Chain A
């Protein structure tokens, strides 16, 4: 589904990603962990197409297509979804109108007929229940005045509505209390299937107690320095990141 090869990227001439290799197949959940400033969120931004990031080297194939050549909206229409670490408040755009517009444009892109109002309403109700998203929030302005937890749940609600094939959750767990965390995790678990995939970016291991990843990767200094299974996450929880930092410095030293 997603193949990242030797991806290098920079922002304002600062090198952020220094050669990422990652392959994600349908049905898989990958967790990307790492200390602050290691490039986790940058990777998410580059994949979603944020314009402030320049890709300087490498390639990314999404369902066999060159992802990096696509506009952000095209990536979304092709089935890529980024759950934002900091969802934006847009007063004056209602949540529901926003989703209607997004679904409309995605369907047009795919050559599908517009979704009728009844079907849209049914879908909204179903998904809103699935992720336990307050019906009143659905009709409010997009994220305006939402609490941190409500914003994150709205991201998962949007994910449920748009039904992407690849979802990237960028620190969705940060700022969530344990109940909100469980609701978000349950939402993801209900939405996962053998046809879609998730990349979960997180600083802490606790989200991974609820969403069991197939693979765990540790990002440090713009590179994936270690990959493993869910046990790696536990190890990180126990030992912190320092031992990895040491290890990667040693590796770097030997390559030089």
Chain B
């Protein structure tokens, strides 16, 4: 299968080799095997795959990647990267994962009762499979991850426990040679429990080194539970980040997602799936992508309304600078059983770079007849009138544009419930809009 890819993509051969050598526990063997077969069937995605039509990753697959991470030990640039990820004035618990491996340390005080954190590698040595089975559908990279993952972070919040302080997870990716890492995480928020997670993704790569992060996060939000989930993607040039997040929502649960992608990584592909498996759930998906250089940033979201009386609202905004490319594909699937669904979606884009492009595609498939669904998509440029108004008050063109970009992003940034994170994001945005970007 995929003979062509085996011959043309060096990484493909390495993957086959790695799989054959994988030492695995009996419990996870079957799941790995079926995931691997799925990946072999799917291969790496090409633009012939509908979900990858606007996101051509061929050029990134030309590079060779090792699958073995450098041996543990703090990389030299760690403190610098941690400083970049630090959110000033945020009262939180902090943990750091280097290339997907947690060192077991926690900053910000001892964790309260009712929340447990483990390395996935530790859990793997226990009997029973940690992860639920999934056939991975058309998730090429998730299937690959599920076959080859070795570590990640397991979080569980026990029933009725409210964790007040957010948990800040800093993902550091670093290597001296081209590398693919495949962390796999599982987070469970039990009945009536509450948790806030803030993830920061940073990377430090010297020279021409490339790193491919194939991340898979599964989240289960049980009955009446609540999870706030902020994603801050600030990885550096040379990084290819594929981040798949699959959220299983149970009865009356609430899941809020805030995904921010900033200039840096060559490729960012976010697959965010909210699977509303029981009734009366609430889901908010907010996203902001500010892209620059030759970046390719793709947000694919799926809100899967399986049951009745669920509410979902999605707002993604994009600011595209220089020669960057953005893709937004928002799928809302309302099953026949999912009556009384409320599903709203909005995607707005500000295309600033003369060679920047955006492909925005709302995709609504509705099979129930008693639903309220709406979607909207806009692509625009700076308002000349607004720009002139600001300049007529003495504000220089560059500052005026920065103000307008911040204002455009405001609808999304203001949704974050942690003021320190909102401030951090606004600073990051301003930082990336110097004069020369604005043209």
- For residue A50, which residues in chain B have a CB less than 8 angstroms away from its CB? 388
CB-contacts of A75-114 with B (<8 A): 75-77, 82, 84, 87-88, 90-93, 97-98, 101-103, 105-106, 109
Cβ-based interface call for B385 (8 A): yes
Residue of A nearest to B409 (CB): A92
- For residue A106, which residues in chain B have a CB less than 8 angstroms away from its CB? 394
Partner of A73, one of B386, B394, B406, B411: B394
Cβ-based interface call for B9 (8 A): no
Cβ-based interface call for A124 (8 A): no
- For residue A103, which residues in chain B have a CB less than 8 angstroms away from its CB? 394
Q: B327-341 interface mask toward A, CB cutoff 8 Å, 1 = contact, 0 = none?
A: 000000000000000
Quick check: A88 and B407 within 8 Å, CB to CB?
no
Quick check: B404 and A102 within 8 Å, CB to CB?
no
Quick check: A76 and B406 within 8 Å, CB to CB?
no
In this complex, how many residues of chain B approach chain A with their Cβ under 8 Å: the count is 24
Q: Which of B384, B393, B395: most chain A CB closer than 10 A?
A: B393
Cβ-based interface call for A48 (8 A): yes
Quick check: A88 and B394 within 8 Å, CB to CB?
no
Cβ-based interface call for B175 (8 A): no
- For residue B391, which residues in chain A have a CB less than 8 angstroms away from its CB? 49, 71-73, 76
Cβ-based interface call for B389 (8 A): yes
Q: Chain A interface residue count: which class? A: 20 to 34
- For residue A109, which residues in chain B have a CB less than 8 angstroms away from its CB? 394
Cβ-based interface call for B408 (8 A): yes
Cβ-based interface call for A162 (8 A): yes
Nearest CB of A to B422, in Å: 13
Cβ-based interface call for B403 (8 A): yes
Quick check: A162 and B407 within 8 Å, CB to CB?
no
Q: Which of A48, A76, A87: most chain B CB closer than 10 A?
A: A76
Nearest CB of A to B162, in Å: 32
Cβ-based interface call for A202 (8 A): no
Cβ-based interface call for B392 (8 A): yes
- For residue A92, which residues in chain B have a CB less than 8 angstroms away from its CB? 406-411
Nearest CB of A to B315, in Å: 14
- For residue A231, which residues in chain B have a CB less than 8 angstroms away from its CB? none
- For residue A77, which residues in chain B have a CB less than 8 angstroms away from its CB? 394
Nearest CB of B to A153, in Å: 16
Cβ-based interface call for B112 (8 A): no
Cβ-based interface call for B397 (8 A): yes
Quick check: B397 and A71 within 8 Å, CB to CB?
yes
Cβ-based interface call for B399 (8 A): yes
Cβ-based interface call for A158 (8 A): yes
- For residue B393, which residues in chain A have a CB less than 8 angstroms away from its CB? 76, 98, 102, 158, 162
Give Cα A90 to B409, complex, Å.
Answer: 12
Nearest CB of B to A223, in Å: 25
Cβ-based interface call for A51 (8 A): yes
Nearest CB of B to A138, in Å: 15
Q: Which of A48, A97, A101, A109: most chain B CB closer than 10 A?
A: A101
Residues of A within 8 A of B (CB): 48-51, 71-73, 75-77, 82, 84, 87-88, 90-93, 97-98, 101-103, 105-106, 109, 141, 158, 162
